[in-house]
Structure 1
Amino acid sequence: MPQRDGVLAPEFWSRSALATALATCDMAVIVEEVRLARGWSQGELARVVGYSQSWVSRVVNGQQSLTVDQVREIAERLDVPIHLLRFTRKAASGRGADPTRRRDFGRVVAATAVTLPAMAAGPTAPAAPWPDIDLGENTAAALRAITGAQRRLDAAAPARDLAGAAGSHLDLITRTLERAEHTPFAPQIAAAASEAAGFTAWLHTDMGDAGTARRHYRAAIVHARHSDDRLLTAYMIGSLAAFEIDTGDPELGLALTREAGRQLGPDAHPTACAWLACVRALGRSALGAASAASRDIAAAEAGVDRVDNSDPPWPWVFAFDHAKVAGYRALAGVRLRRPHEARAAFGEAFGGARPTGKQGAVLQVELASAHADAGDVDEAFRLAAEALGTGVRMHSERVIGRVRRFRRAYRGPCARSVREFDAQLTGLLSA
């Protein structure tokens, strides 16, 4: 039922479509989702936001570009939690912005049109020339919006098709940061550079290029330190820790989590603490330290239950909740060869929903391992086959590598489902 009045429930903002739209500042989707949730006509929506119905129609159809000030104004009038759009409350309440600074958003977002066509040609395509950007208070937000848009594309596009555009964008931010070095805007632009470097690292991880991924993660940490944002620095160090654990070096990963913890300090936000505890749990479970991993998961659950676990700080977009902790508990269970605990935790994490996309395929392989350990061979290889199809279709070396690792580790009976999977694996990889 539509909810015409009052505050929309917190879970409304964590729905998949809205989560993506909020992360990328896709106002067309946000405005339309709020309208539908409220049961408003387009005319009623126009009256609430204070614009004409034709203007609102163009926004919803993606035909009307918005300035940063308009995004803030509409978000306030629709009661969109402003922190989810990555604007500070202070900035959101500001008025009378310099019109030359308003142009930063449009100018930088327009620059993405220069790089997006190059994606089809792959990462080796020549980078298009970038215009110099007039520095202003909105420059960092505009640069981050581009990274957010690229991150949104990652859900449906092969990483190799995005890597060229992401690399060019990172080059743009790096150049802009050099120009901003002795200005008040340097810390915010450094934070934007850190986020872009972290996303570029993620793309190279998916492409199976661990060396380049590691280099970009380290650049993300350097930029985060330059931003003087301890939470962002801890997040990037923790992300590198998760990467090292995932690529087979849990000892190094755990050492990095300790450094991330020092960055957070004793009074850090519970979302950050819960997430880092879960990363530690993965490292310890990879080493077979079951009791220590359990303590880390318990610490994460305690953080989730804290009354102040709300309004998560950037770069976290949503608070760390019990479903997210359950996902990490499931991964730890797979590594500790506790299949029944892992399957139960997967069910708690996803509530029966089917994981989708490249990351969903990675999780399907993890779930396949749990089923195989529990003796449910047919379901294990059904999940692995589905994940393999996604990996091949999306050209994800990360997914394909996980599937191959799963097959090498299997030592059970050669059932019909196993033989069919082997034929699929051979056929897909040799095509």
Structure 2
Amino acid sequence: MAAALATCDMPTVIEGVRTAHGWSQSELAQALAYSQSWVSRVVNGQQTLTVSQVQDLAQRLRVPLHLLRFGGAGSGTAAAPRAASTRKGVKTTRRRDFGKAVAAGTFMATASRQAGEVSAYHGVDETTAPALRSITGGQRRMDANSPARHLLPSAVAHVQLAEQMLGNARGTPFHTELSASASEASGFAAWLNADLGDMGSARMHYRTAVVRARQAGMRLLDVYMLGSLAAFEIDIAEDPELGLGLVKEAEHVLGPSAHPTARAWLACIGALAHAGIGDRVAAARAIRHAEREIVRPDNAEPPWPWVFAFDEAKVAGYRALVGVRLRSPHEARAAFAEAVAPSPRNVKQSALLKVELASTHAEAGDIDEAFRLAQEALTTGVRFDSERVVSRVRSFRKRYRGPRAHCVEDLDNRLSSLVTGIPVSG
């Protein structure tokens, strides 16, 4: 194997990996994502490889690129494979001695690091992914009390940095962890774009977050990003059918033996989707499922660092939101009373909750309280330049069909002032 790596003898490398795994050639082709006939030609020395193909195969086989040598290659191609007639005579020996060859390859990797050849990693090492995650975590904490437009430029730049580091990590042991870091960075950029009302950019970043989570092989991260995209489609894009489809996909990825918090959270998002469609029975069933999950004894710690513990209060909050969407004001108000109010440090989330609560008061006929809450939410939305909060207040006003009291006129005047730029008189 050491000699094969040193001469870029990819047929020997590929055949050795296949033998070590005990794969058939069909399984090898599936692992490489190439056709079996193409892989057969490569293994038998009948297919010349380009440099880009060698790099791609090395990445899929998890062979560090810095161990490969391209000496003897022609312009644009890797070193020519050995002739098939020569290779047939050494197959038996190669299989017998593969354990020794792996040890030789390991020795080469160690020697390369000692010789300073880790420069091929382009600045990526074991500290890169934690550093990127730390930046994302700091940005998320700042989001609670900072306008999204202030955070977005740095968040997008951070996504670009994470993607650059991920590209540099191809063929290194750090690629998986950096994929997860890039997923988290894209997920936060999606959240900021959603807050600013940029639906297209939000979807783009959410989809990137899902792709990177799958490349990382982290099922919970994959589910978290899928669920976040589902919540975006349900709650912001107002497309509950699409959101429900994403929830079902996330549940399939999660599997039946996952952490109770993950199952409860997805069930609550599904309940919102059912409520948006108008399916009262399915929404109630999903909420009951979430309530069963949170009381399980193994629901002690959250399964991921991106959410807080999911408990009775959290489910009560979702039950209240379901009540709002199903136009059940008394049930919604009772559920809001059970739910713990969001931390005052997260003022934008608090404003969104106030709009939902305003809807329940309006449905129950308590107009003054409803519009007082809407006014407070609008003040927060304007202060933090949150299009999400302002749009939610506008939607609340559009749904209201009650008497035109003074509190209604006051809100109308403020909303008009946001459009015209003319300050409200008096």
TM > 0.5 fold call = yes
Residues 348 and 381 in structure 2, CA contact (< 8 A), matched pair in contact too = yes
Whole-angstrom CA distance in 1 between matches of 2:401 and 2:341: 30
Instruction: Tell me the residue number matched to 1:141.
Output: 130
Residues 145 and 346 in structure 2, CA contact (< 8 A), matched pair in contact too = no
Instruction: Tell me the residue number matched to 1:189.
Output: 178
Residues 261 and 294 in structure 2, CA contact (< 8 A), matched pair in contact too = yes
Which amino acid in the other structure matches residue 369 of structure 1?
S
Whole-angstrom CA distance in 1 between matches of 2:307 and 2:352: 22
1:223 aligned onto 2:212:
yes
In structure 2, do the counterparts of structure 1 residues 334 and 133 end up closer, same or farther at CA, with 3 Å as the change threshold?
farther
SS of equivalent residue, structure 1 residue 308:
coil
Instruction: Tell me the residue number matched to 2:420.
Output: 430
Residues 355 and 363 in structure 1, CA contact (< 8 A), matched pair in contact too = no
Residues 333 and 341 in structure 1, CA contact (< 8 A), matched pair in contact too = yes
Deviation for aligned residue 1:338 = 0.6
Whole-angstrom CA distance in 2 between matches of 1:250 and 1:279: 10
Instruction: Tell me the residue number matched to 1:340.
Output: 330
Which amino acid in the other structure matches residue 342 of structure 1?
A
Deviation for aligned residue 1:233 = 0.5
Residues 268 and 290 in structure 2, CA contact (< 8 A), matched pair in contact too = yes
Whole-angstrom CA distance in 2 between matches of 1:298 and 1:226: 33
Residues 294 and 310 in structure 2, CA contact (< 8 A), matched pair in contact too = yes
List alignment gaps of at least 5 residues for structure 1: 1-131
TM-score, normalising length from structure 2? 0.68
Residue from 214, 222, 225 that aligns with 2:203 = 214
**Residue by residue, what CA displacement relative to the aligned partner does 1:67-111 show, whole Å, maximum 9, x if unpaired?**
xxxxxxxxxxxxxxxxxxxxxxxxxxxxxxxxxxxxxxxxxxxxx
Residues 342 and 349 in structure 2, CA contact (< 8 A), matched pair in contact too = no
Which amino acid in the other structure matches residue 141 of structure 1?
P
After TM superposition, the structure 1 stretch with the greater mean CA deviation from structure 2, 376-385 or 419-428, is 419-428
Instruction: Tell me the residue number matched to 1:81.
Output: none
Whole-angstrom CA distance in 2 between matches of 1:285 and 1:152: 31
1:153 aligned onto 2:142:
yes
SS of equivalent residue, structure 1 residue 260:
helix
Whole-angstrom CA distance in 2 between matches of 1:335 and 1:138: 46
SS of equivalent residue, structure 1 residue 350:
coil
Instruction: Tell me the residue number matched to 1:384.
Output: 374
Aligned length: 300
Deviation for aligned residue 1:418 = 1.0
Whole-angstrom CA distance in 2 between matches of 1:278 and 1:212: 25
**Residue by residue, what CA displacement relative to the aligned partner does 1:321-344 show, whole Å, maximum 9, x if unpaired?**
111111111110000001111111
Instruction: Tell me the residue number matched to 1:234.
Output: 223
Whole-angstrom CA distance in 1 between matches of 2:219 and 2:342: 37
Instruction: Tell me the residue number matched to 1:375.
Output: 365
In structure 2, do the counterparts of structure 1 residues 316 and 269 end up closer, same or farther at CA, with 3 Å as the change threshold?
farther
TM-score, normalising length from structure 1? 0.67
Whole-angstrom CA distance in 2 between matches of 1:296 and 1:188: 33
Whole-angstrom CA distance in 1 between matches of 2:379 and 2:342: 21
1:163 aligned onto 2:152:
yes
User: Which runs of structure 2 are paired with 1:342-421 in the superposition (5 Å)?
Assistant: 342-350=332-340, 356-421=346-411
Deviation for aligned residue 1:400 = 0.8
User: Which runs of structure 2 are paired with 1:10-159 in the superposition (5 Å)?
Assistant: 134-159=123-148
In structure 2, do the counterparts of structure 1 residues 339 and 396 end up closer, same or farther at CA, with 3 Å as the change threshold?
same
Residue from 192, 213, 232 that aligns with 1:243 = 232
Whole-angstrom CA distance in 2 between matches of 1:303 and 1:320: 10
Instruction: Tell me the residue number matched to 1:112.
Output: none
Whole-angstrom CA distance in 1 between matches of 2:345 and 2:395: 20
Deviation for aligned residue 1:314 = 1.7
In structure 2, do the counterparts of structure 1 residues 301 and 281 end up closer, same or farther at CA, with 3 Å as the change threshold?
same
1:265 aligned onto 2:255:
yes
Deviation for aligned residue 1:319 = 2.1
Whole-angstrom CA distance in 1 between matches of 2:405 and 2:171: 66
Deviation for aligned residue 1:175 = 0.5
Instruction: Tell me the residue number matched to 1:307.
Output: 297
Residue from 163, 166, 186 that aligns with 1:177 = 166
Deviation for aligned residue 1:355 = 8.4
**Residue by residue, what CA displacement relative to the aligned partner does 1:378-408 show, whole Å, maximum 9, x if unpaired?**
0000000111111111111111111111101
Which amino acid in the other structure matches residue 373 of structure 1?
E
Residues 235 and 315 in structure 1, CA contact (< 8 A), matched pair in contact too = no
In structure 2, do the counterparts of structure 1 residues 354 and 183 end up closer, same or farther at CA, with 3 Å as the change threshold?
closer
Whole-angstrom CA distance in 1 between matches of 2:298 and 2:311: 12
Residues 372 and 380 in structure 1, CA contact (< 8 A), matched pair in contact too = yes
Instruction: Tell me the residue number matched to 2:188.
Output: 199
Whole-angstrom CA distance in 2 between matches of 1:422 and 1:354: 27
SS of equivalent residue, structure 1 residue 389:
helix
Residues 244 and 252 in structure 1, CA contact (< 8 A), matched pair in contact too = yes
Deviation for aligned residue 1:424 = 2.3
After TM superposition, the structure 1 stretch with the greater mean CA deviation from structure 2, 414-423 or 377-386, is 414-423
Which amino acid in the other structure matches residue 138 of structure 1?
T
Deviation for aligned residue 1:426 = 2.1
Which amino acid in the other structure matches residue 268 of structure 1?
A
Whole-angstrom CA distance in 1 between matches of 2:324 and 2:307: 27
Deviation for aligned residue 1:240 = 0.7
Instruction: Tell me the residue number matched to 2:30.
Output: none
Deviation for aligned residue 1:358 = 1.4
Whole-angstrom CA distance in 2 between matches of 1:285 and 1:160: 31
Deviation for aligned residue 1:155 = 1.2
After TM superposition, the structure 1 stretch with the greater mean CA deviation from structure 2, 349-358 or 291-300, is 349-358
1:280 aligned onto 2:270:
yes
Whole-angstrom CA distance in 1 between matches of 2:222 and 2:336: 30
Whole-angstrom CA distance in 1 between matches of 2:165 and 2:342: 45
Instruction: Tell me the residue number matched to 1:292.
Output: 282
Whole-angstrom CA distance in 1 between matches of 2:301 and 2:343: 26
Deviation for aligned residue 1:152 = 1.2
Which amino acid in the other structure matches residue 198 of structure 2?
D
Deviation for aligned residue 1:353 = 7.5
List alignment gaps of at least 5 residues for structure 2: 1-120, 422-426
